[in-house]
Chains A and B, each alone.
Chain A
């Protein structure tokens, strides 16, 4: 996925508050789908749809804990957040530069 498409997918996935909450929970430790559904008060099919969207965005991946390969858990994918971090960094740089230009302009005209 290109960096741009990856950012689109990340922001779109995070536009939903339930999915943001899942990302926060997974930031603490991997969870099973059932645990996530319970924590958010959502039905299993609704949680399944959110997890699918998060997987497609590259933010979340399925993993199997060491103690049992049959158990499926969801975990945060480290690379998934890099597009978001890049966007934040670039946007911050953009506004820092634009506000300096604005300041120079305001103070020049007076």
Chain B
């Protein structure tokens, strides 16, 4: 059973530039999707406000600001983390996105992982006396299969 999504590709830029463009110009490159909208009134124009502890917002056509999530990690050229809540989600529900930037020769591999729930802290597993091993194995299987598919995609690019 898969609860996470992993998508990766390479871009012709160094990791710092890729990170800067990803965060500072998200309002320019984000492509609104009519099938999977952030809010019922469209995707709006996205923007990161502040670094760690800041937030990811979108400004809708009406001028209204919708907060998509909080920035949980901000390491330029390496890693970006934020929570993700579409307007149609239940109030107490949030998902999590991690974006990894890795140098590959003169390019950068950008990997987006989107988790349907917060990962289990190790203490929690220990406290309840059961291993989350099966879940982890299946997630790993799923990731492996996805990576094979992505490699194929990258080769055809």
Contacts and interface: CB of A to CB of B under 8 A. Distances in A.
A14 B29 contact: no
Given A14-B117, A40-B130, A102-B11, A24 B135 contact: yes
B124 to A, nearest CB: 6
Contacts of B118: 15
Place the interface of chain B in its size category: 35 or more
A84 interface: yes
Contacts of A23: 1
A12 B92 contact: yes
Interface string B27-67: 01111010110000000000000000000000000000000
Contacts, number: 114
B71 interface: no
A96 B93 contact: no
B21 A105 contact: yes
A12 to B, nearest CB: 6
Contacts of A87: 116
Interface in B119-157: 120, 124-125, 128-130, 132, 134-135, 138
9 contacts: A14-B3, A17-B124, A85-B2, A101-B30, A103-B11, A106-B11, A106-B18, A106-B29, A107-B11
- Lowest 9 A-B CB distances belong to which pairs? A105-B29, A8-B90, A95-B7, A101-B31, A92-B5, A91-B5, A17-B120, A41-B129, A15-B117
